[in-house]
């Protein structure tokens, strides 16, 4: 697959409206670790979250994903950053579903992991994905993540415990 070009830029308060809209979409949020509220967040809560990301007060390095023509399509982050052992957890969502399955996820991960290995000086990026999130698992395998194991009943989703797969990529395995 030829990868589409994406840019990761810092979040701004202009991103609140898109984020709020995407968070109302259950297909987008089903597999995201979010509270089961409808709407998942109010506009005000979304704004506060984005402000915390901008100010770097919530432990997340979260960026906006934009396309070649500057369309805002989603977000990507690293969190649980362990500088001692040089690893962090990655999270991603393409909020605009028109862009699913076209390589944008892989392209954004490539940019984020390059940043994490080179700028944050990390050695490993890991993630947790729900066992029934087939689209994400396909994308992560395509990207080259290796499976570390099953985290049993790791997510409480709609009153049901769901297993998650832990996957990771080492700096020495990153070939993009
Ligand atoms: C998961 C997500 C980030 C993946 O991004 P994406 O841009 O849709 O995925 P990509 O197009 O980069 O995926 C690349 C690979 O996955 C494959 N793929 C994409 N959608 C698929 C599907 N529905 N079923 C099977 N394979 C699929 C692609 O064919 C491609 O593989 P290929 O190059 O071998 O053909 C995105 O779908 C998303 O935001 N989902 C909702 C939020 C979410 O679940 N986030 C992850 C939480 S862990």
User: In the chain, what are the domain boundaries?
Assistant: 6-173
Residues with CB under 6 A from ligand 1: 1, 28, 31-32, 92-94, 100-106, 129, 133-136, 138-139, 142
Consecutive 10-residue runs of the chain (176 residues): their mean pLDDT? 93 97 92 75 91 96 97 98 98 97 96 98 98 96 96 95 98 92
List all residues 6 or more positions away from 46 whose beta carbon is below 8 Å from its beta carbon. Answer: 16, 19, 20, 23
* Residue pointed to by tokens 């500088």: 83
Helix, strand, or coil here: 15? helix
**pLDDT value at position 38?**
63
84 CA distance to ligand 1 centroid (A)?
31
* Domain 6-173, CATH homologous superfamily name and number: Gcn5-related N-acetyltransferase (GNAT) (3.40.630.30)
**pLDDT value at position 40?**
64
pTM above 0.85, yes or no: yes
**pLDDT value at position 175?**
85
**pLDDT value at position 34?**
79
């Amino acid at each position: 697959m030829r990868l589409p070009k994406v840019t990761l830029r810092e979040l701004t308060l202009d991103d609140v409206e898109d984020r709020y809209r995407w968070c109302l979409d259950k297909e987008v949020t089903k597999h995201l670790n979010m509270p089961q509220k409808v709407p998942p967040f109010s506009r005000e809560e979304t704004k506060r979250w984005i402000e915390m990301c901008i100010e770097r007060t919530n432990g997340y390095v979260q960026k906006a994903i934009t396309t070649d023509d500057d369309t805002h399509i989603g977000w990507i982050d690293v969190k649980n950053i362990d500088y001692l052992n040089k690893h962090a957890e990655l999270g991603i969502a393409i909020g605009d579903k028109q862009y699913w399955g076209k390589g944008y996820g892989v392209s954004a991960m490539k940019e984020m992991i390059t940043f994490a290995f080179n700028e944050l000086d990390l050695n490993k990026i890991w993630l947790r994905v729900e066992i029934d999130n087939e689209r994400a698992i396909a994308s992560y395998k395509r990207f080259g993540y290796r499976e570390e194991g099953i985290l049993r009943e790791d997510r409480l989703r709609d009153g049901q415990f769901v297993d998650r797969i832990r996957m990771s990529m080492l700096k020495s395995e990153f070939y993009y």
